[in-house]
Amino acid sequence: MPPFEGKTYSLYSDSHSTTETTDEYFNTIKRLADLCLQKYAGNEKNLLAQLQKESKKKKLIGKLLAKSEDNAFFNRIKKTLKTSLSIYTKEVKNHLKHMSIFERFDSTLRTTEEQYHLYMLEIELVNRIYKHAFKSCTYKFALLPHCLRDFRLTCLSAPGDIEHTCKGCTKECYIHLAGKLLKKYNIDPYISVRMDQDKLLKEVKAKHQSVGVLGIACIPELARGMRLSIRLGIPPIGIPLDANRCARWMGKAYENSINLKALEELISQESSRK
């Protein structure tokens, strides 16, 4: 499957390559997370809270750097954000420039490039911080976006006890591929259809003594979904979509993909690490 271009971001640094994977993105964000966690060892949640606070402000990077007591450390953060991560967010400025008045009322659609970079880091940090809590849960489930389905066929998914479930009608479908992988590690996969995730998560939590959730979504929505889960006392982990290509962004839904290697690395670590 060729690399995908998104409305604002693509985890493929070159969407015209026929062989490139998104591995380099995950390697880059891991290095940045390692840098942060070395500096804030023992204060990981404080770091996460600061990043979440900064992502809600204007002139995000400047504010983040100005508060730093270690200029050398935050200069490295700045370099990674602006130099390394900007290759994945080339279309953000153009998108913001051409937004309609109606679209400007949508906080997700008006996500800035600086926010994308902070969300990327936040997602990786959440995975690091909450992985052990996720592992210890007696029930684990995943929410997969409908845009990962095989667009060549009509999706045969049907309602399940939480959300819709995949019927495996095609082996190439990313929902089927991800679902098969998740089941291998005792994580129940569901296709996310309902809009009210707050209500959904509360319902699942009420049914299980302890529950963890794995999310797959575009970067802004994944970061916000993780925040919601944390507020509800549900430890989250997650993987971003390779690009944002659903109707909300593009006006029409287009096929999408995820890095299955990164997904398995994440959940296998959850299953094997103590």
Q: Is residue 210 part of a domain?
A: yes
Q: Does any domain span residue 244?
A: yes
Give the pLDDT of residue 21.
Answer: 87
Q: Which residues are paired to 192 by β-bridges?
A: 145
Residue 18 forms part of a structural domain: no
**Domain-located, residue 11:** no
Would you say residue 77 lies in a domain? yes
Is residue 169 situated within a structural domain?
A: yes
pLDDT tens readout for residues 72-94: 665 667 677 788 899 999 999 99
Q: What's the average model confidence in pLDDT over 221-232?
A: 97
Confidence tier at 188 by pLDDT (50, 70, 90): very high
Give the span between the Cα atoms of 273 and 260, in whole angstroms.
Answer: 19
- Tens digits of per-residue pLDDT, 230-272? 999 999 999 999 999 999 999 998 999 999 999 999 998 644 4
Mean pLDDT of 166-177: 87
What confidence category does residue 150 fall into, taking pLDDT thresholds of 50, 70 and 90?
A: confident
pLDDT on residue 64: 54
Number of domain units in the chain: 1
Give pTM, 2 decimals. 0.90
Which pLDDT belongs to residue 266? 96
102 or 193: which leads in pLDDT: 102
Tens-place pLDDT, residues 26-44:
999 999 999 888 888 888 9
Domain containing residue 182:
23-272
In angstroms, the first-to-last Cα distance of the chain is 36
Domain-embedded: residue 15? no
Residues 6+ apart with CB under 8 A from 62: none
Q: Among residues 253, 263, 259, 215, which one has the least CA distance to residue 12?
A: 259
Assigned domain for 13 exists? no
